Amino acid sequence: MESTDDLDVLIIGAGINGLYTLHVLRSAGLQVRAVETGPEVGGTWYWNRYPGAALDSESYIYASHFSSEVNEEWQWTDEFADQATMERHLKFVADRLDLRRSIEFETEVTSCIWQTEARTWRVETNKRTYQATFVVAATGILSVPVLPEYDGLTDFQGRILHTAQWPRGGVDLAGESVAVMGVGSTGIQVIQSLAPVVDHLTVLQRTPNWATPMNNRPLTSERQQEIRETHAELYRATMATSKCFLGDMRSERTMEVSAEDRERYFDHLYQKPGLTFFTENFQDVFVDKEANDALCDFLRRKIEERVKDPATARRLVPEHHFGMKRPPLETNYYEVFNQVNVDLVALTDEPIVRFGPFGVETERRSIPLDTLVLATGFDAVTGSFLRLGVRGSDGRALSEWWNDGPRTFMGCTVSGFPNWFIVGGPQGTSGNNPRCAHYVSDWIRDLIIFMRKMGHQTVDTAEASESDWVDHCNELVMMTLLRDAESWQWGSNVPGKKRAFLQYLDSQVEYRRKLDTVTEGEYRELIFE
Ligand code: NA7
């Protein structure tokens, strides 16, 4: 295979985090290329083109860290942009910042091997081989789809579509009998979009979720103007919140306020756009069972008000605490179950026996299907990094090093993998992902500049620094109700994946303070040669 000229940095992934990393590293004068599996930029916003796919954090916050020119020239039309808008936006960013000339599309990494003598990474792809001093993996936390395993699924004669592999030209499901499996953020978006279109919709629900209203709305021209004029302030305000959203947690404890005030505040959050129950709730709601019970009681009553059939409503009420799975946003999800063409099948009451050529058979009924939509999620957070075939010093395989769960220093570097960085992966940025992760891209740029200045060729991570960080991440989750949760955050949605908490739970303000401390201390946690 042809080898490219030596690069300073190879970036893997041209989603929102890869694009930003490319922009900042190239602007620093480095020789950089990005490789991307897809034929276009966008990552998540390229692949997830299922009906109803949309952001559930404010568009003008999520994607507005590229440059002031981009912010001034781009006009958001809705509080929460849909997939098509996000795809257009990221194409606009790539063009405006002239990023495409540095991206190789339809290029999939097959291995990524550290060359000890040459002190470079040798990255094999389906097209060519790259040599790069540094590699930045920006492959995303939700980019490897998980497909369920059921008897007879391969015999099904209808269409099977995973939401993250939706055909580019769309699919016309009008008049069909369709089942959607999965009721996470994706399932809920696709269910409420398909219900008015298809002839019959079956919702195959394993675990119900606490969904709260998105309250999306078009941005008025005055609001658009205001957003353009106040970008810098909005940026500062969101960077000051714990998860880089618009609002922050309330300082009172849930049970300290009166029952009336609590109800009023929950109602206020219910009317407000966005993930407010997640980001603006009472501060103890994820650590105190009684507080969380009060919230669940409020949300249960809302479901019972909105779903006419009490038995259906009961099946839609989760048994787990709010926030134990990432809470989805909805628009008219609960009302969908009042439609005569929609059936809710609770798989806990009537498990699937098998699929067959015709459709699906549960313990209670046979359901003929034209199309099965799998909204069954992702091998989240670590899956995309582990597929790169990474081998570091002494042939150390990332897949073995992470066998019991991810091991990183601050979500940025991994011990035994010199000059290999992660943006937006495990144990670091968590919350409004790109808004948190762009700081890490800047941090990597500064580290490379520091190395150039000092004449260092390699940077590795001391095992002790890494172990301390892993312990810190684990201690944080054990202080919250999430310690007992089952979700992709623990890897428990992937058969055979070791249970390990994958994310960092402290505030992003604190996370950035810690990163700054590392920089100011001239990276003494790292090892240079
Ligand atoms: P999620 O949140 O992982 O949801 C996947 C859904 O699929 C969830 O309801 C699962 O039920 C269900 N599922 C998964 N496997 C099966 C099988 N084998 N049988 C039945 N049901 C199954 O993925 P999303 O794509 O919705 O969202 C991912 C993130 O994207 C989201 O958190 C936001 O951050 C954006 P379970 O709960 O495991 O019982």
Contact 405, 398 (CB under 8 A): no
pLDDT tens digits, the chain, 529 residues: what are they? 444 568 999 999 999 999 999 999 999 999 999 999 999 999 999 999 999 999 999 999 998 889 999 999 999 999 999 999 999 999 999 999 999 999 999 999 999 999 999 999 999 999 999 999 999 999 999 999 999 999 999 999 999 999 999 999 999 999 999 999 999 999 999 999 999 999 999 999 999 999 999 999 999 999 999 999 999 999 999 999 999 999 999 999 999 999 999 999 999 999 999 999 999 999 999 999 999 999 999 999 999 999 999 999 999 999 999 999 999 999 999 999 999 999 999 999 999 999 999 999 999 999 999 999 999 999 999 999 999 999 999 999 999 999 999 999 999 999 999 999 999 999 999 999 999 999 999 999 999 999 999 999 999 999 999 999 999 999 999 999 999 999 999 999 999 999 999 999 999 999 999 999 999 999 999 999 9
Residue closest by Cα to atom 6 of ligand 1 = 182
Burial of 13 (0-12, 13-18, 19+ CB in 10 A): buried
> What is the number of residues in the chain?
529
Mutational test site, ligand 1, from 47, 83, 162, 206, max ligand atoms within 8 Å of CB: 206
Other CB atoms within a 10 A radius of the CB of residue 357 amount to 9
Residues 46-59: b if buried by 16+ CB within 10 A, e if exposed: bbbbbbbbbbbbbb
- How many angstroms separate the CA atoms of 410 and 426, rounded? 9
> Could you tell me the CA-to-CA distances from 378 to 48, 97, 486, 494 in Å, in that order?
12, 31, 14, 8
Three-state SS for 330? strand
CA angle 400/487/214 to nearest 5° reads: 135
Q: Quote the ligand 1 centre to 491 CA distance (angstroms).
A: 11
- Report the nearest atom of ligand 1 relative to the CA of 376: 7
Residue closest by Cα to atom 4 of ligand 1 = 184
Q: Quote the ligand 1 centre to 182 CA distance (angstroms).
A: 5
Roughly how many angstroms between the first and final C-alpha of the chain, as a whole number?
Answer: 31
